[in-house]
Structure 1
Amino acid sequence: MGEFRAILPQGAGYAIIVGLGAVFMFGMIATTRMLRRYQKEIMTAEEFTTAGRTVKTGLVSSAVVSSWVWASTLLTSCAKEYGTGIFGGYSYSAGASFQIIAFSILAIKTKQKAPNAHTYLEIVKHRYGKLAHSVYLFYAFATNILVTAMLLTSGSAVFNVLTGMNAIAAAFLLPLGVVIYTMFGGIRATFLTDYVHTCAIIIIVLFFAFRVYATSDMLGSPGKVYDLVREAAVRSPVTGNYKGEYMTMESKSAGIFLVINLVGNFGTVFLDNGYWNKAISASPAATLPAYVMGGLAWMPIPFLISLTMGFACLTTELSPKFPTYPDPLSSYQVSQGLVLPAAAVTVMGKGGAVATLLMVFLAITSGVAAEVISVASVFTYDVYREYFNTKANGKQLIYSSHIACFIFGVAMSGFSVGLTYGYISMGYIYEIMGIIISSAVVPVILTLCWKQQNAVAAIVAPVLGTGLAIMSWLVCTKSLFGELTIDNTFEDYPMLTGNVVALLSPCVTIPILTYVFKPQNFNWELLKNIKRADESEELAELEEEEDSENVVGLTTAPSNDSSDQVKTDSINEEKQELKVSESKIKPIKTILSSIQKDKPDQLAEELEKEKKELSRALKIAYGLCLFFAFSFLLIWPMPMYGSHYIFSKKFFTGWVVVQIIWLFISAFCVILYPLWEGRHGIYTTVRGIYWDLTGQTYKLREWQNSSPEELHIVKSQISARLHNIESYDNELNIAIDDIIDGQKPSKHR
């Protein structure tokens, strides 16, 4: 195995991790302060985990893309393209984008059936009880742990090989800034940093693409890359590919990886509470378009980066500039994700190394932020409030969230160091995740989609499925290779067997267990009794804070009157009017009064409108899921797989151009569109800053008092009021039904 020569000094690694991490940390802390002052976004327990449930389409899409751009999105996709050819990169992108689109169905159903939920585990608890709740707690935490371990393991490896930075230091420093800004800003901070990360990653991917396919002296055009890839197939043909070619979709190994990728990523999306957090945070109207647009905008990122850097590595590995020259990358280095850094260093030198470090850093911190907020939400609402302090107020819930963020960050740094020294690579963790967690996917889906599934099926099916998956994985390895080693268990067929058994075994066991132990016939209305956190204490504190402020420093624009006395009288009169105005009405009082003045029929009308909107969105989501499943997984790849087609130079050129155009469209959707949607909020915030800097703070107070409907806190409180009324009505109706049936009114039936 050739040693990967570091091209940058250690200081570069520390500068990026510590320096850029500090920039994001202080930037998000400052942003949180500004949003509190100018938009009245106060950090209540609800706000910390749900952002008021009012986030718009563009920002949710951008956050979904950023959260799903893991380090493996960039590194593993390139490794698959490098090892199996053009179908490898497609297998990664198609096999991981469909789940995001499919998740839109569960996102909508959550809005319909459990509008006040904070985590999907709350839904499990309300439907099946505490035993089932504890089972799914294991799967939720296992998902968070495996994903975070994969992110930190791959990140520390890349920083180590490119800069010589100590891998242990990288593992502990990478999550540091993320944990701090997440503790300060909650999920709102992750939404905003996700947006910045998405912008930067898309720009860097486009930079790599244009460098490799347009301006590089070594490569410089799709035609040149095509010729060199065909030469590489002659030099080292791919086992399992048609005629050993890289330029074909007929690849046995890539086809197997497509299935493994598809199965494993159902688990990492559907069982990771981070994606449920984003769905819960989205406004009802944003739920469907956000996840569909996010899935489609994400797909060209691994597609294009693998097509660019996977083939760049393959075609330049004989160059003296290659970091392991004269040796190619070893299989362990490939599974560590070093294909992308090797290609970047060879083609672009130090600039490529810096761009790679930036991109990997952003991908890791974005993913870790999503996992941190996911763990904080689960710990706060499903562990602390459920088992330790059932009457916890908002302040106590926020405190528990902060504790969870800190402990998780430290624990995962230590765990990733252990994996690194145990030679467990990013690629290994990526493929084994499905074996461990995917047996819980089908039960979770049916929890919101099938009222017959009973508690026995929900509890036994995932546990049994995981056991069967691990057993089949190890038995397949032993029967094929004779011994159990890390390398043997990482082979295609054992991983394929374990992943498929994990996902599909519950499809057999759930119906059997459901009908043997009696179907449940669950009343969906019970899920609407899940309560939001009590924000009254935080709101009262903000009211006191507003009451304590005075109008010191109030100024007015210069008067045109010639008399100084007239000017002074005018100013004093205006100040007095403003004082009276502030004493009469405060933002929080305005909120409460505006909610109280809403007539019941207006609230009912708004609620009915939301229900119709979600019902329509659900029908569209079903259709889109079927369409994209057939398109991405059957219609597009299968004819090319079965036709023995080897790409021509013109076809390959068109393939590259389509991916570049697709990524530009993605940039519009997740970079420009969020700015357009949030233009009013950006304007009012900038205007408020200007008023403060020019001594016109009174105008900010005046605007907040006169336009309460534009403040974030008003929108979130009205949303809470809307669904609290619905929850109360449901409890009343259920109690009446129980009395009519001669039963004692109860929480569950």
Structure 2
Amino acid sequence: MSGVQLGVLGQELVPQSTGYGLLIGLGVAFCGVILVALKIQRAYLSEDSGTSEMFMVANRSVGIGLTSSAVFSSWMWINETVFSAAMCYRYGLAVPLWWATGLCFQIALMAALGVLAKIRVPYAHTSLEIIRMRYGNIGHVVFIILNITNNVFGCASMILTGSQLIYGISGMHFAAATVLIPLGVVAYTAVGGLKATFLTDYLHTTIALILIIYFTLSTVTHDAVGGLGGLYDKVQATAAQNFVRGNYEGSLLTFKSKEAIIWALILKFGNLALVVMDTAFWQKSFATEVNATVPGYNLAALAIFGVPWGLGTVFGLTARALHNTPIFPTYPGPFTDSMIKAGFVMPYTIKALIGDKGIVAFFVLLFMALTSTISSSMIAVSSILSFDVYKTYINPKASDKKLVQVSHLTVAFHGVFITGIALALNYGGANMTWIGYFRPILSCPGIIPLGLTLLWSGQTRNAAIISPILGFFTGLAIWLGTSKSLYGEINMTTTGMGLPALYGAIGSFFSPALYSVLISLYKPYKFDWRIFLRIELADEAQLARSSSVAQQAHSDATSTTSQEPEKDNKAHGNPVADTGVLDIASHDPERARSVQEKNPKIFYAGSDDSAASIPLDEIQHPLDAATLQKLHWWHRTAWIMFIVIVLVTFIAWPMPLYRNYIFTKTFFEGWTTVAIIWQFFAFFAVVIYPLYDGWSEITKGAKGVYHAVQAFVQSKKS
């Protein structure tokens, strides 16, 4: 199928060889960095990704700085960079701010839900584990499907977009780009687990923000642009050529834009689903320290604001000002709608102003944005498949070592699967705009039922299972019905229009709330939150019993080994060799001891059934009173911050601007200056601060490496 049919035929801005070299070289480089980092972690920081607790939730030990950097990186999708510029080109400067406001409130909400999960289910690994505790296996399976669908579709759409961009600017076949993009990520994610993604997320964030600031400043200060004042003058001078239907007086410099606000609302629904229904964001909250979740997540929420706002405004308007001038790559030909929808606004503007070195740097930025998304998606899906599917339904007695092995395999499986989905979307003719409109309809139905699992004790099992299914079909029917009603037919073009997608997203998001309440009221039931603790403590009791068996087995194995060869141990069915229970025994002894002291009856119960039947009044929360008090304080703080962010970014800031007003030159210069300053704030928040926050670990690892190198040199000399 040709590029014309796919709608991504563009100008070859760099040779194919450069594209292949960058994709393969960057993937290999990141694998090398992670392997070195893992060696240092094991040797000097007592962190081993060979345990499931470390692989899935990083031993729940991640601090504020690394949390903010990892959340920022996971949320810095290619949308915030490339497509904020493309949508600003189409609808004007209202889009980048709306885009920014559509990114931060979801992270603030996730901070509140994450802390609440720590209070009610303190040792959870995934959000689906909580679903199964409350609603049983059927509810568990329904939400597994919802989560994986959301994750796979979101991740595959990023690979689709990246492959089309790479094809459009380098001529590399999109199928080759589709395969190469996730390949290196599979390698380092499978080896390193969640902590590895935290470390690579930090590297992604650092490199990406440096490049974003470089691109923004280089563009604004270029002679062809002439600073912010020059940009304003050029946009005004070309206003007649750049008339935007639906904007006040057709201006790019007004906040009153009908299409921009429709896009903004769709984006808000879709992005909310991408956070709440993505296990990766729950895992990152489970992985944080008690005092790190709320400040870490909210710091990332504020930092992400500057990326689409500053970058989108500068590049979208610059492309509008220059696209009919000789320096633009498409001149004298037209800059077509298919090119804009494929995201070529930013790379073409970079080529025009910065040249070949700018395109190489853009390639690196593209790689950073894509792989940070893919790595968190891979950990999320592998955790679902290993912990929620394999351990729950296939091998409940799986050892810790076995779980990690399955996690490695599922990372590889997910990489192959999303590559196939991305290729299918490519050949199906999908583009990022259509996917952005469809995704909320697919992903939104589970949001409210999942939130109510932690927030409302009245939601029944039937309500949680049925309401998201009904919600999806409601949204789908509204989307397709509105497309047919407004445009007379249902196809990729009509379903990719703004209004049908908006109405479908609203139906998909809100209808499950109505269904849940009605179904719950039909046969009311009040859930006791202590049941979560009983289930967790029963699991902990099983872990403790496994530990004692393992210790006994290890003792027996030691005495036997002194008398028999190792092969005889295996031949006699030695439990240490066959079951791997020693891995479980060393899982988290300090936690087990703390929980055992508070709940001795559960630990001395004879079986798992009797442990689960301990009266609720006798159950003690496994966290101490001081920790619980802190968590409750953070929970209140998180909701206050969420409400403030919503009020400011939804109402107080944008709404007064939605009027018959075209930005003056002074106001535009001030507006864009603040947006660029926000990029520097983001750099300090998620690049500089994590170094300060983790300085003790950094120095400890550095000293270990220094001493190891010194010892190696001395041994060579001697």
**Pairwise TM-score range, normalised by the shorter structure:** 0.7 to 0.9
Q: Could you tell me which residue of structure 1 aligns to residue 453 of structure 2? A: 447
Q: 1:527 Cα shift?
A: 4.4
* Paired residue type of 2:159: L
Q: Give the secondary-structure state (helix, strand or coil) at the position aligned to 2:275.
A: helix
Q: For the Cα contact (< 8 Å) 2:73–2:202, is it kept in 1?
A: yes
Counterpart position of 2:148: 141
> In structure 2, what is the equivalent of residue 241 of structure 1?
247
Q: 1:605 & 1:485 partners in 2: Cα distance?
A: 55
Is it true that 1:23 corresponds to 2:40 in the alignment?
no
Which residue, 688, 691, 706 being the options, matches 1:675?
Answer: 691
Residue 608 (structure 1) aligns with: 625
C-alpha distance in 2 between matches for 1:637 and 1:607 = 44
* Cα displacement (A) at 1:329: 2.9
Matching residue's letter, 1:274: A
- Does 2:99 match 1:92? yes
Tell me, yes or no, if structure 1 residue 280 matches structure 2 residue 286.
yes
Please give the secondary structure, in 2, of the residue aligned with 1:262. helix
Deviation (angstroms), 1:621? 1.1
Give 1:319's aligned amino acid: T
Pick the aligned partner of 1:49 from 43, 56, 65: 56
Say which of 117, 122, 142 aligns to 1:115.
122
Q: Deviations over 1:657-713 (max 9, x none)?
A: 111211111111111111111111111111111211222999xxxxxxxxxxxxxxx
Aligned equivalents of 1:327 and 1:593: distance in 2? 68
- Counterpart code for 1:678: G
Q: Give, in angstroms, the shift of residue 325 of structure 1.
A: 2.2
Counterpart of 1:345 (choices 347, 351, 373) is 351
Residues 528 and 290 (structure 1), Cα distance of their counterparts in 2 relative to 1, 3 Å cut: farther
Given the superposition, is the C-alpha separation of residues 259 and 527 from structure 1 closer, same or farther in structure 2, using an over 3 Å criterion? Answer: farther
Whether 2:378 is the aligned partner of 1:372: answer yes
- Looking at structure 1, the residues matched to 460 and 621 of structure 2 have their Cα atoms a distance apart, in angstroms, of 33
Larger deviation, residues 688-697 vs 57-66: 688-697
Q: In the aligned structure 2, how far is the partner of 1:654 from the partner of 1:613?
A: 40
- The 5 A counterparts of 1:391-406 are 391-406=397-412
Q: Please say if 1:289 is aligned against 2:305.
A: no
Deviates more, 1:630-639 or 1:338-347: 338-347
**Residue in structure 2 matching 1:59, options 56, 66, 82:** 66
> Structure 1 residues 142, 605: closer, same or farther in 2, change over 3 A?
closer
1:471-523 CA-partner distances (Å, limit 9, x unpaired): 10000000111111101111111111111111111222111111012233333
The answer (yes or no) to whether the contact 1:72–1:337 under 8 Å persists in 2 is: no
Alpha-carbon distance between aligned partners in 1 of 2:325 and 2:453, rounded to the nearest angstrom: 55
1:105 aligns with 2:112: yes
Q: Which moved more, 1:314-323 or 1:273-282?
A: 314-323
Report the counterpart of residue 618 of structure 1 in structure 2.
635
CA contact (8 A) 1:453 1:519 kept: yes
Among 524, 542, 546, the residue aligned to 1:518: 524
What amino acid maps onto 1:175 in structure 2? Answer: P
Query: Residue 335 of structure 2: SS of its match in structure 1?
Result: coil
1:367 positional shift: 0.3
Distance change (3 Å), C-alpha of 1:322 and 1:650: same
What amino acid does structure 1 have at the position aligned with 2:111?
S
Do the aligned partners of 2:594 and 2:622 also contact (CA within 8 Å) in 1?
no
**What letter is aligned with 1:219?**
V
Larger CA deviation: 520-529 vs 646-655: 520-529
The one of 660, 676, 691 aligned to 1:660 = 676
Q: Secondary structure at the match of 1:190?
A: helix
Mapped partners of 1:126, 1:628: distance in 2: 32
CA contact (8 A) 1:317 1:325 kept: yes
Q: Partners of 1:697 and 1:40 in 2: how far apart? A: 24
Percent of paired sites with the same residue: 32
Q: What are structure 2's unaligned runs of at least 5 residues? A: 559-584, 599-619
605 and 184 in structure 1: CA distance in 2 versus 1, 3 angstrom threshold: closer
Instruction: Give the counterpart of 1:638 among 652, 655, 658.
Output: 655
From 205, 213, 233, give the equivalent of 2:212. 205
Whether the aligned pair in 1 keeps the contact of 2:225 and 2:231 (CA below 8 Å) is yes
CA contact (8 A) 1:318 1:326 kept: yes
After TM superposition, give the deviation of residue 604 of structure 1 in Å: 8.9
How many Å separate the matches in 1 of 2:445 and 2:510? 7
Asked if 1 retains the 8 angstrom alpha-carbon contact of 2:595 and 2:622, the reply is no
* Contact 1:55 1:281 (8 Å CA) reproduced: yes
Please tell me the residue identity of whatever aligns with 2:220.
Y
**TM-score, scaled relative to structure 1:** 0.83
Pairing 1:717-732 to 2, within 5 Å after superposition:
none
- How big is each residue's C-alpha offset from its partner over 1:42-64, in whole Å with a ceiling of 9 and x where there is no partner? 12011100000010011010000
Rate the CA distance shift 1:528–1:34 in 2: closer, same or farther, 3 A. farther
Report matched runs for 1:495-574 at 5 Å. Answer: 495-527=501-533, 529-530=535-536, 531=539
Aligned-partner Cα distance in 2 for 1:505–1:128: 20
Matched letter for residue 642 of structure 2: C
Q: Compared with structure 1, are the counterparts of its residues 385 and 592 closer, same or farther at alpha carbon in structure 2 (3 Å cutoff)?
A: closer
Sort the Cα spacing of 1:477 and 1:404 in 2 relative to 1 into closer, same or farther, 3 A: same
The equivalent residue for 2:707 is 691
Q: Please show how residues 195-274 of structure 1 align to structure 2 within 5 Å.
A: 195-214=202-221, 216-274=222-280
The question of whether the paired residues in 2 share the 8 Å contact of 1:435 and 1:499 is answered with: yes
The match for 2:432 among 418, 422, 426 is: 426
Match of 1:180 in 2: 187
Q: CA deviation at 1:432?
A: 1.0
Distance 2:590 2:126 in 1: 30
CA distance in 1, matches of 2:460, 2:624: 30
Contact 2:437–2:498 under 8 Å retained in 1 = no
1:592 offset after TM fit, Å? Answer: 6.1
SS in structure 1 opposite 2:62?
A: coil
Offset at 1:598? 12
CA contact (8 A) 2:182 2:371 kept: yes
Pairing of 1:588-607 with structure 2 (within 5 A):
607=624
The structure-2 alpha-carbon separation of the partners of 1:230 and 1:115, relative to structure 1 and needing over 3 Å to count, comes to same
Partners of 1:289 and 1:386 in 2: CA distance: 33
Which residue identity is paired with 1:293?
L
- Residue 735 of structure 1 is matched in structure 2 by none
The structure-2 alpha-carbon separation of the partners of 1:670 and 1:536, relative to structure 1 and needing over 3 Å to count, comes to farther
Question: Tell me, what secondary structure is at the counterpart of 1:695?
Answer: helix
* 309, 320, 339: which one aligns with 1:333: 339
Give, in whole Å, the separation in 1 of the partners of 2:396 and 2:130: 16
Instruction: State the 1:341 CA deviation.
Output: 1.2
Name the residue aligned to 2:601. Answer: none
| 2:239 aligned counterpart, secondary structure | helix
Cα distance in structure 1, aligned partners of 2:323 and 2:527: 61
Aligned length: 652
SS of match in other structure, 1:694: helix
In 2, the alpha carbon distance for the partners of 1:515 and 1:256 equals 34
Tell me whether 1:382 sits opposite 2:388 in the alignment: yes
Which amino acid is the alignment partner of residue 644 of structure 1? N
- Per the alignment, residue 629 of structure 1 pairs with 646
1:443-482 matched pairs, under 5 angstroms: 443-482=449-488
Q: Where does residue 162 of structure 1 map in the other structure?
A: 169
Query: SS state of the match for residue 486, structure 1?
Result: coil
Q: What 5-or-longer segments of structure 1 have no aligned partner? A: 548-587, 699-749
Distance 1:683-1:609 versus aligned 2 partners, 3 A rule: same
* CA–CA distance in structure 2, aligned partners of residues 16 and 205 of structure 1: 18
State the shift of 1:414 in Å.
1.7
Q: Write the distance in 2 (CA, Å) between the matches of 1:599 and 1:107.
A: 25
> What SS does the aligned partner of 2:210 have?
helix
Question: How far does the alpha carbon of each residue in 1:193-252 deviate from its partner, in whole angstroms, 9 at most, with x for none?
Answer: 0001111111111111111222x1211300111112223332131110000001011000
